[in-house]
Amino acid sequence: MLPQAAIRDLQHVVGERAVLHRDQDLLLYEYDGSIDKGRPECVVFPRTTEDVVEIVRIAADYSLPLVGRGAGTGLSGGVIPTCGGVMIGFSRMNKILEIDLENECAVVQPGVVNLDITRAVQGRGYYYAPDPSSQKACTIGGNVAENAGGPHTLIYGVTTNHVLGIEAVLPDGTVLNAGGKEQDLPGYDLRGLLTGSEGTMALVTKVIVRLMRSPEAVETLLAIYERADDAASTVGELTDRAITPAAVEMLDGVMLRMVEEATRAGFPMDAEAVLLIELEGVREAVAEQLELVNSVCLECRAREVRVAKSADERALLWKGRKNAFGAVGRVSPTYYVQDGVVPRTRIADTLRHIYRVSERYGLTISNIFHAGDGNMHPIILFDPRSEDETRRTREAGEDILRYCIEVGGAITGEHGVGMEKNELMPLLFAEDSLEQMERLMRIFNPDGRLNPGKILPTGKGCLEIRPPAAPHKAVIW
């Protein structure tokens, strides 16, 4: 039970209306985009770094667990409180503080929506490259915590490749600055370390992001296949010929029919799979690539290759891709999204395994994924009211991830480990390696109060994080 004194201290910092602690108010914050739940004991909404520092110090005084939350679009349980405590909601720290086109960067608060950065600079010929499917809703703080990706990171890289600097608050209230506008600063790369640390080391309060010039030319192709294996083979063939598109997305037949029914984006209802391929760059190079990609798709038995004739047609195809999860919701209001990665040469094998898992567990599984980098997103449809179906869904998801590891892959490509996959980490890392990871985490988060129960296997109870009778210092104002 959160002490009433702690609530009063938090209210003193941010105001009564910026602290939620009644059960009916907390219901909204007990979940993210995964299927697990956990309720915080209060949610606090800071507006400045100074607010965050004071909140963190109060939590330290009362030995309270802390978890930061952005938009709650994460898919691995990263913002679910495993031990109650205080949740810091960054939705009010949502300002773009500076746009510096001379240095091709922007300084933003963590609650800034991903797509809003591009909207702020696209009229001047720039954009922000990482583009998760939830980019209309997800926020930069969460993107940094999970090292988010997206379709176009095949050529441009994931979030860590576009973060130049970070301001963050440690669990004792210390403000840490890592990186900056300057390139290749000396010393340890703390910026890279914090990006992808899933809120277990620090709370990000400011980010300097890289801005990129808009490409001179863009072409979007839709390759249509009678067999999913042929679509998967195309990805490998593109790699063999040293062709690197900006994006290569794959939808199987189950998925594309749901998407087309919902969005009317122009996907064929009778195909077994499609590849959505985008090329970007200098006009002459894109024209040459377009011919090569078209040829490779046809050689790999695509029945048809369509090229978007206009920006509107291109946008409609991407609307279908990026609204896919919403399309699934029309068929099944609850689904479980996985995030395993495999070598591109094993995509076809992995798809076949996923279909076998679907039959074995008696579940419908649709597939939409970043085929260019082997990041698989099987979506398992299930009814959470059925305990048996929920159990089978979790087992099916673990079965798929274990197979990804067996063929040389990993358990996540962009969604993070969170609380969903942390118990599978020993399948990837030796015990000594996991111990070193924990030692590193403890340097920043010595008593484990910051986002406990994430990334590393647990085996520890909340009482080790939050002693029930720990004395606390009085807060004097």
A 10 A CB-CB count for 187 gives 7
Is residue 472 in a domain? no
Residue 452: inside a domain: no
Looking at residue 42, what is its pLDDT? 98
The CATH number covering residue 192 comes to 3.30.465.10
One domain, residues 395 and 296? no
Q: Which of 382, 402, 417 is the last residue of a domain?
A: 417
In a domain, 349, yes or no: yes
Q: Which of 326, 350, 384 is the last residue of a domain?
A: 326
Residues of the chain with pLDDT under 50: 461, 463-477
Same domain, 182 and 167: yes
pLDDT in tens, 48-65: 999 999 999 999 999 999
Residues 260-285 pLDDT 10s: 999 999 999 999 999 999 999 999 99
Is 76 in the same domain as 116? no
CATH number for the domain that contains residue 393: 3.30.70.2740
How many structural domains comprise the chain?
Answer: 4
Q: Do 110 and 200 fall into the same domain?
A: yes
450 assigned to some structural domain: no
Q: What is the pLDDT of residue 1?
A: 81
The CATH number linked to 222 is 3.30.70.2190
User: Is residue 289 situated within a structural domain?
Assistant: yes
Judge if pTM exceeds 0.85: yes
- Confidence at residue 477, expressed as pLDDT on a 0 to 100 scale: 27
Which pLDDT value is given to residue 183? Answer: 80
Residues 86 and 16 in one domain: yes
pLDDT in tens, 80-134: 999 999 999 999 999 999 999 999 999 999 999 999 999 999 999 999 999 999 9
State whether 160 and 83 are in the same domain. no
Instruction: Examine the domain organization and report whether 77 and 127 are in the same domain.
Output: no
Q: Residue 333: what pLDDT?
A: 85
Q: What is the pLDDT of residue 131?
A: 95
270/224 same-domain check: yes
The residue among 213, 228, 253 that closes a domain is: 213
Say what the pLDDT of residue 466 is.
41
CATH number at residue 12: 3.30.43.10
Q: Indicate if 28 and 54 belong to the same structural domain.
A: yes
Does residue 17 sit in the same domain as residue 33? yes
Residue type, 260: E
Domain containing 413: what range?
Answer: 332-417
pLDDT of residue 212: 97
For residue 20, tell me if it sits in a domain: yes
